[in-house]
Every structure is written in C-alpha cells, then in structure tokens.
Amino acid sequence: MTSTTTTTSATSAGPAAGTARQAPPAGPRARLRALLRGRSRSTTPRILFTLLIALLAATVAVLGTGLAVVYRGQHAAEAVRTRAVPAISGVVAARTALVQADAAAMESFDTGARLVGPGEHFYNQIAIAVQGLTRAAGSDIAGESGNRKLRTAAGLLTTYTRLVQQAAAHPEGDEGRVLRARDLYSASQLLHDPNGGVLAQLDDLLADYVAALRTEVASGARHPAGVVPWLLATLAVVALLAVTLVFFARRFRRLINVWLVAALALVAGLTWTVGGVIGAHDRLQQASDALVRAVGEHRSVTGAQGQQTLYELIRQACGEEAADGCGGTVAAFADRVAALPDTDEADDEQVARRTQQAMLDAAGLSADAGEAADRQALVYALAALIAAAGYLGFRPRLNEYRFRSR
C-alpha cells in the first residue's frame, strides 16, 4: 500500500504542500476534468475505490427505488383487484338489482297477482342486492365513512323490503288498492329519494369508491415519488459507469472494459423490467378510467319503468283521475316520472352489461398489472449482477495497485 501511504502523507501535508506540487482544479467541472484526465497518479487507487463504492451505492439505490416502483405497482394493482373492483362491482350489482327488484314488484302488483305478492323476481333481486352490499362491505376501501354509508343503505333496504311486503298484505278491492299504492309509494320514496334514499346512498358510496380507486391508481407505479428517484438512481449508475469507462480509457488505456459494458447492459435490463411494471400500470390506469366512466353511466339508471308502473298503480287507486285529482304529492310524483329519461328495461340492461364489462376489464388488467409487478426477484437479481459486474470490472485495476504495493 505504498502509493496509498504516499498519497495520505501528501494530503496530510496540508493544502500548501498540495498547492506547491500541483494547484487543485477550481470548481466541480474542473475537478471532473482533472479526474477524467487522471492528472494525479498518486490519487488513482483512491479514485478507483471511490468510483467503485459510488457505483455500488448507486446500484443499491437503483435496487431500492426500483423495488419501490414495483411495490407501488403491486400495491395499487392488488388494491384495485381485491378491494376497489369488488367494492364497486358489489354496489353496482346491488344498485342494478334494486332497480330491477323495484320494477319487478311494481309489475307484479300491476298484474294483480296479489297471491304472489311482489313476486319471485323481486326476492331474487333483493337477495342479489344483499350479496352485492356484503361483497362491498368486505372490501373496506373507503374506510369507516364508506362502511357507515353501506350500513345506512343496508338499513334502509330492510325497511324498503318490509314496505313492499306489506303492500302484498292488503285485500283486493278499492280499500286494498289504495293502501297498496300507499305502501308502494312509501317504499319507492325510500328507494328513490334524492335526499337520503337507498339509491342516493349507493351513489354516494360509489362516489367514495371511485375516489378511493383513483387514489389507489394514482399512488401506483407511475407516481412521481416512485418514478423520479428510480430514474435519478438509474441515471446515476449509468453516469458512474460511463465516467468509469472514460477514466479507464484515459488512465489505463483500456478502450473497452467488458464487465462494465455488461453492467450497462444489465442496467438496461433492469430499466426494461421496472419500465414493464410502469407500462402495465398505464393499462391499469386506462381500465380504471373506463370503469369510472361506466360507473358514471350506471348512475343514470333510475328504474324509470318501475316508477312509471307505480304511477299507473296510484292512478288506478285514485280512480283513474288526473294527477291533480289525487293530491299534491301524487301530482309532484307525476311530474317527476314525466321528467325521467325515456329508457326501458333493455336500455338499463345494456348499461348494466357495459358496466359489468368495464369491471371485468379492470379486474383483468389489475390482475395483469399485479403479475407484471411481481418482479422483485428479477430486480434483486439484476441489481446483484450489476454490482458483481461492476466489481469485476474494477478488480483488475485495483489488483494492479495491490501488486505494486507489495
């Protein structure tokens, strides 16, 4: 270690001694130029050692930041696949089922089938709605606030079902007809009331879930807090390898260092690996946007047909008179029904199908993104290989000085 000792003593002689031998280059650029030219022979082993340490540290940084990107990608994909999509699909299924249940009940009462009450289809749809809400409850994606809204909707759903069942208990004839209409109207209010009705609660809940979905996707593999440090670390490794190659070429007259070139290739591989995670996240983002649009469209499903049938039932209960002849509440209801979009069951089913497809796409792409992000082992391996290749590239040069010191 002669040279090292010499250098140390030269350095320890203080700035004056250094200046007497050779003035230190002023400014960082000048220092970098001096380094690349290898002007100070006595500092070469230290430069080699420092470059190696810097390269290894930067490789660790690439590993850490790369893993952070991968982790974010995985976390987002997992959250979307296991929490956001099930929650949204649960509420959408519940909402669709409730609108269909309402229409089925009104249809059943309209056909005068008192003995079957609201009908089997009503009960099936209510069961589907309950299942949907249960599925959403399991996701826990919107926190306590979301759970509270879910409980509110579930509580109101119980009352809604009771009111519809109650409507079936009235006898035939004028008396039963008006009481049935009253119960069905109360149930319908509970379902459709824009201020706190079941559908409004579910819409509110969907808005929360969509916001949570957006947050999860935004915090994924493309988040700047993950991507920027990873890019910087990667650039640092590439820069250090480039600086080292130039330094070796100038100082040791070695035009190509195979190991360092291999390290550069491995960095490219690592970049491709992490970039793949980011690319998969792009597709997840697109699927999420499509899902948000589908949910928005789904919220336009108001069950106009059920409401129109209910209005007919009320009109019959009032003796086929005009809306005004049945009081202010019915007149206002008639206005609301008239203002409903002119959609039928087929339109609603189409919207439901599109929403379902968007959810399937989002689920599939989140699964793909999750698989694409399942690359920690590859990131570890590539980072280890970069470090190893870097070390092997430095070793012959370091050995030269080790032999000299003997």
Min dist CB 319 to other proteins, Å, is 7
Min dist CB 171 to other proteins, Å, is 9
Q: Evaluate the CA torsion angle 177, 179, 185, 187 in order and state its sign.
A: negative
Nearer to other proteins, 159 or 300 (CB): 159
Nearer to other proteins, 232 or 360 (CB): 232
* Distance of alpha carbon 243 from alpha carbon 98, whole angstroms: 67
Beta-carbon contacts of 187 under 8 Å, excluding residues fewer than 6 positions away, are 102, 105, 160, 163, 164, 167
Find where tokens 């997840």 sit: 284
Q: In this structure, what token pair is assigned to residue 19?
A: 């200046």
Nearer to other proteins, 206 or 351 (CB): 206
Residue 332 φ then ψ, to 5°? -65, -35
CA atoms within 13 A on the CB side of 340: 21
Min dist CB 219 to other proteins, Å, is 6
Give the Cα-Cα-Cα angle 103, 131, 168 (nearest 5 degrees).
40
Min dist CB 144 to other proteins, Å, is 4
Nearer to other proteins, 73 or 358 (CB): 73
Min dist CB 350 to other proteins, Å, is 32
Min dist CB 354 to other proteins, Å, is 29
246-261 residues labelled b (16+ CB within 10 A) or e (exposed): ebbeebeebeebebbe
Nearer to other proteins, 196 or 396 (CB): 196
Beta-carbon contacts of 145 under 8 Å, excluding residues fewer than 6 positions away, are 208
Nearer to other proteins, 120 or 175 (CB): 175
